[in-house]
Structure 1
Amino acid sequence: MSSPPAASTSTPTPPFSLWRIAIPAFAPSLLFGLGEGAILPIVPLTARDLGASVPMAALVIAMIGIGSLFNNIPASMITMRWGERWAIVAAGVWSGLGMLLCVLTSHLGLFATGCFMVGMSQAVYNLARQSYMTEAVPIEYRARALSTLGGVMRIGMFAGPFLAAAAVHAFGLWAAYVVGIVAVMAAAAIGARIPDLEAPPVPAGQAAPASTSIVSTLRDHRRVFLTLGIGVVLVSAVRASRQAVIPLWADHLMLAPSVASLIYGLAGGIDMLVFYPAGKVMDRKGRRWVAVPSMLIMGLAMLLMPFTSGVVTLLIASLAIGFGNGIGSGMIMTLGADHSPRHGRAHFLGIWRLMSDIGSSCGPALLSLLAGGLSLAAGIAATGLIAFAAAGMLGYWIPRHGSAGGKGRGVAR
C-alpha cells in the first residue's frame, strides 16, 4: 500500500498589505517632510538676520524650489547609477549637510547655497522614493501607496513648523535647523534599511533592452510628455498657486493675519484627511475618477473666491480648494508611474518631475503677473480657468480603464 503524498512544506505568499511595509515605505517621507517643514518658515527670517532685504529673502527661500527644479534630471542619473535605496540615503545626508551649512555660516551667499542643497536633495529623494514604490508595490495598490506617500509627506510638512516653533522659542532660530537635520538624517537611516530591488527580468527568448538615456526617453515617450505631461504642468501650476491665493485674498479682505492663518490651516487639515480614500478610488475605479474632479473642484472654488466677502465665505472656498487638492494627493506620481517603462524608469520620472516643477514655478509667477497688471481677482480667476483646462486634458488623455494598461507594473518584493 502506497503511502500518502507528503504534505507540501511551502507556505502561500501572504496577500500584499500597505500596513506591512508602512515603516520602511512611509516613515522616511514623514521625516523628510518634517525636516523641510521645520526650516521653511525660518529661512526668510534667518536671511533677514544675515542682512538680506525683503525681496532678497524671498529669493533665498526660492532657492529651495530652484534647486529641485534644476536637479530633476541629475536625480534620475543618480538613481539609475546608485539605485533607489542609496539615492534615498544620499538625499537625506545631502539635505542634512545643506541645513548644517545654513546653521554654521554667517554669509548670505553660503546660506543661499545651503538652501539650494536642500532643494537638490528634495529632487533626488522624491524621484528615488517614487521609483522605489512604483517597483515595489503591486499595480492594484499603486495609487493608494503613492497617495499615502504624498499624504504622509504633507503631514510632516504640516507638523514640522510646530516642532520648529517650540525649538526656536527655547533656543533661537538655529534650533529649527537642528530639528531639520535630525529629521532628514533619521529618514536616511531608515532608508538605508529598505531592501534593494531586483532588476526587471528579461522575458525568455528576448534580448536585454538597450541602455536608455534622457534623449532616448524623450524620443520614445514624446507623445505622453506632449499630452498628459502638459496636463501635469497645468495641475502643478494650480497647486502651487493655491498656496498664495488664500493668504493674498484674505489680506485683500483686510482680515487679521491670525484669521488668515487659521483659514489656511483648516484648508491644509482637509487636504491631509482625504489622501487615502482618494487613492483607493483611483485603484478601484480608475485615475480619471479622482484626477478630473480634483481639478474641477479647485477650479470652481478659485473662480468663486473673488466673490467672497468675509470669513465664512472665504473659509468655504478655501476648504473646497483644500479638499480638491487633497483628493489629488499622489495623482501626478501615480500617472507618472503608470506610464513609466520598467527599463529606464528613473529617466522617465526625472523628466516627469521636471515638467511638474516647471508648472509649480510658473503658476505663482503667472498669478503675480496678472495680479500686478490687472487685479488679484483676475489672477485668481485665471488660475481657476487653468484648473478647468487641466481637468479637460486629464479627462481626455488618461486611459479610461484603470492605469496605463498595466504598463510599468511593479511586483512586491
Structure 2
Amino acid sequence: MTLQTNVDEVTRSEEPIPIGDVLWRFAPMIYGPTVLFALGEGAVVPLLPILASRLGADVPMAALVASFLVVGQLCGNIPAGWAVARWGERLTMVAGGGVALVGTAGLAVAPSIALLSASVFLIGFAAASFGLARHSFMTTRVPLSFRARALALLGGTFRLGMFVGPFAAAGLLALFGDEHAAVWFFAACLVATIALVVFGPDPEKTIDVGADSTRESLAVSDDGDGRMIEDTGEAVTGAIPTAGRDGILRTMSRHRDVLSRLGLAAASLSAVRSARQVILPLWGVSIGLDAQTIALVVGISGAIDFALFYASGQVMDRFGRLWAVMPAMLLMGAGFLALALTHDLDQSALWFGMFAAVLGTGNGLSSGILLTLGADVAPQADPAPFLGSWRTLSDAGGAAAPLLVSGLAAVSSLAIATGAMGVVGLLGAIAFWRWVPRFVPRQR
C-alpha cells in the first residue's frame, strides 16, 4: 500500500474536530502560560525606569536600561530557534521560564545599574525563547483551516496580560508601597507558568487535530538532501522528528527570498506598531494635553486594539491573509500621515483622539498577522530555525522605529517623524500586497 493511500484513508476516517474543542485543549499548554507570562511582564515593564532611578540612573540611563528588554528579545530569537529545534517546544518553554526567573531575582536584588541591565536583558532573552516555542508549537499542531484564529487568540492573550499587568502593578504599589512587590508578582507568575507547562495536560495526548492539520504537510517531507521522510502517524510530543535538520545559517540562506521580501514587510508592520506606542504619548504632550487626558486617549486606543484581536483571525481564515493585513497597514499608514497634518489646527486635541482610535483599529486588525504569516511560510517539518530568523526581522523593525522617531523629531519635528512612519506603513502595505500572494500558500 502506498503512502498516499495511507494518507487518503486517514483523511476519510477522521472527523473534523470543532475549533472550540481544539483551542480549549491548547489553553493549559499555550494560552494560560501566555497570559501569566504577559501579566507579570506587563506589571514590571512600567517600573523598570523607576528601579533604575533608585540606583542613581538619570533619565537617559533609565531609558537605556528599559531598552535592554527589547535588545534581549532581539538577541534571543535565533538561539531560541536552535533550542526548539533540538530540545522541543515544551522543554524550551521551561528553560525560558527558568532564565526569566533568574532575571527576576536579579531585578529584586540588583545593587548596581549593570546588574539591573543584565537582569532586564535576561528577561527579554527568555521572553524570546518562550514566544518562539509557542509559535513553533502552534505552527506544527494547529490545522490550517483555523490557524489564523488560533494565533490571533495567542496574540490576544498576550495583549490581555500586558493590558492588565500595569493595573496589577498599581494595586500592588498601593498595597505595599514598594516597586519590588511587582517584581515578586512577576516571579509568582513565572512559577505558575512553568508549573502549567510541566504538569499541564499535553494537547498532543488529549486531542488529535485530524487530517486537516499540518500532519498532511508532514506525511512526506524533504530532509534537505533530497531524501523523503515518511510520517509514521505517531503522536509527536517534542520537536518534529526529521531525518536531517538545517542549521540556523543554512535555513536563513535557503529561505533568503522570503525573509528578504515578506520578512521586511513584517518588519514594517512591527515598526508602525512600535511607533504608535511612542508617538501617541509624545503627540499629546506636544499639543499641551495633561497626563490624565493623554492616558485616557491612549487607553481608549488600546481598548479598541484589544477588542478586535479575534476579528483579525476570523478575517484571515475566512477570506485570506491580505484581507486583514492590508486594511491594518493602510489604516495605520494613513492615520499617521493624517495625524501629522493636525498639530497646529484649532481642534488638534479632537483630531488626536480620532486618529488614536484609527491607529488602535488598525493595530487590532493586525493581531496575529505576523504569527500567522510566519507559520504559513515556515518549513512545516522543522519550523523553529526559520521562525527564529523571522521573529528577529520583525523585532528589529519594532526596535528601530522608536530610534527613527526620536532621530527625526530631533532634527526636524514630531510631525515630520509621524509622517515618516505613515510612509513606512504605506510602503509596507505595498510590500504585503506584492509578496503575500507569492509566498503564502492558498488556503484549502
Q: TM-score, normalised by structure 2?
A: 0.85
What's the counterpart of residue 128 of structure 1? 133
Q: Measure the CA separation in 2 of the matches of 1:384 and 1:37.
A: 27
What letter is aligned with 1:181? A
Amino acid at match of 1:251: V
Asked if 1:174 corresponds to 2:196, the answer is no
Distance 1:336 1:380 in 2: 28
Between 101-110 and 123-132, the greater mean CA deviation after superposition:
101-110
Aligned to 2:18: 15
Q: How does 1:331-342 map to 2 (within 5 A)?
A: 331-342=369-380
Q: Which runs of 5+ in 2 are unaligned?
A: 1-12, 206-213, 222-226, 230-241
Q: In 1, are the aligned partners of 2:331 and 2:362 still within 8 Å (CA)?
A: yes
Q: Give 3-state SS (helix, strand or coil) of 1:175's partner.
A: helix
Select the residue among 374, 389, 395 that pairs with 2:433: 395
Deviation at 1:235, TM superposition (A): 1.1
Quickly say closer, same or farther: Cα 1:203–1:304, change in 2 above 3 A: closer
Bigger mean CA offset, 303-312 vs 228-237: 303-312
Amino acid at match of 1:157: M
Q: Which residue of 2 aligns with 1:367?
A: 405
Is the 8 Å Cα contact of residues 245 and 380 (structure 1) preserved in structure 2? yes
Distance 1:148 1:238 in 2: 21
CA offset digits 1:211-238 (Å, max 9, x no partner): 2111211121111011111111111111
- Cα deviation, 1:312-351, whole Å, max 9, x if unaligned, reads 2211100110110011011011000000002331000000
Distance in 2 (alpha carbons) for counterparts of 1:83 and 1:253: 51
2:360 pairs with one of 322, 325, 330: 322
Residue 48 of structure 1: CA displacement? 0.1
How far 1:370 moved relative to its partner? Answer: 0.8
What is aligned with 1:73?
78
AA of the residue aligned to 1:255 = L
**Residue type of the partner of 1:361?**
A
| CA deviation vs aligned residue, 1:92-140 (integer Å, no higher than 9, x gap) | 2221221111101222211111101110011101100111111121011
Q: Are residues 1:29 and 2:34 paired?
A: yes
Code of the aligned partner of 1:173: E
Pair 1:307 & 2:341 matched: yes
Aligned to 1:57: 62
Return the letter of the residue paired with 2:393.
M
Distance of aligned partners of 1:344 and 1:13 in 2 relative to their CA distance in 1, 3 Å threshold = closer
Cα distance change, pair 194–75 in 1 and its aligned pair in 2 (3 A): farther
Aligned-pair CA distance for 1:77: 1.0
Q: Aligned-pair distance for 1:88?
A: 1.2
Name stretches of at least 5 consecutive residues in structure 1 with no aligned partner.
Answer: 1-9
Q: Report how far residue 357 of structure 1 moved.
A: 1.1
Question: Helix, strand or coil: the match of 2:373?
Answer: helix
SS of the residue aligned with 2:18? Answer: coil
Q: More displaced, 357-366 or 304-313?
A: 304-313
Equivalent in 270, 288, 294 of residue 328 of structure 2: 294
Question: Which residue type is aligned with residue 206 of structure 1?
Answer: M
1:203 is matched with which residue? 220
Matches within 5 A, 1:14-413: 14-17=17-20, 18-171=23-176, 172-192=178-198, 193-195=200-202, 203=220, 206-207=228-229, 209-308=243-342, 309-399=347-437, 403-405=440-442
The AA in structure 1 aligned to 2:256 is R
Q: Distance in 2 between matches of 1:274 and 1:202?
A: 36
Q: Could you tell me whether the CA contact under 8 Å between 1:294 and 1:324 is conserved in 2?
A: yes
Equivalent AA in structure 1 for residue 260 of structure 2: L
1:202, distance to aligned residue in structure 2 (A): 5.5
User: Retained in 2: the 8 A contact 1:85–1:128?
Assistant: yes
Percent identity between matched residues is 38
- Structure 2 CA distance, aligned partners of 1:84 and 1:270? 32
Counterpart residue type for residue 190 of structure 1: L
Structure 1 252/189 Cα, relative in aligned 2: closer, same or farther at 3 Å?
same
Match of 1:7 in 2: none
Give the C-alpha shift of residue 191 in structure 1.
Answer: 1.8
> CA offsets per residue over residues 269-308 of structure 1, 9 Å max, x none?
0000001011011001000000011000001111111233
Q: Distance in 1 between matches of 2:195 and 2:138?
A: 18
Residues 324 and 365 in structure 2, CA contact (< 8 A), matched pair in contact too: yes
C-alpha separation between the residues in 2 aligned to 1:209 and 1:191? 27
Q: Distance in 2 between matches of 1:209 and 1:390?
A: 38
Aligned residue pairs, count: 397
Asked if 1 retains the 8 angstrom alpha-carbon contact of 2:278 and 2:402, the reply is yes
Taking the aligned partners of 2:204 and 2:78, their CA distance within structure 1 comes to: 21
Q: Which residue of 1 aligns with 2:211?
A: none
> Larger deviation: 391-400 or 119-128?
391-400
CA shift for structure 1 position 80: 1.2
1:5 aligns with: none
1:42 and 1:219 mapped to 2: Cα distance?
A: 40
8 Å contact from structure 1 (residues 298, 324) kept in 2 = yes
Measured on the aligned residues, the alpha-carbon RMSD in Å equals 2.1
Does structure 1 conserve the Cα–Cα contact (< 8 Å) formed by 2:25 and 2:203?
no
1:117 aligned partner, one-letter code = L
- Specify the alignment match of 2:238 in structure 1: none
> In 1, Cα distance between the equivalents of 2:149 and 2:17?
19
Q: By how many angstroms is 1:184 displaced? A: 2.1
**Cα gap change, 1:400/1:275 in structure 2, threshold over 3 Å: closer, same or farther?**
farther
In structure 1, the partner of 2:234 is none
SS of the residue corresponding to residue 46 of structure 2 reads coil
3-state SS in 1 of match to 2:437: coil
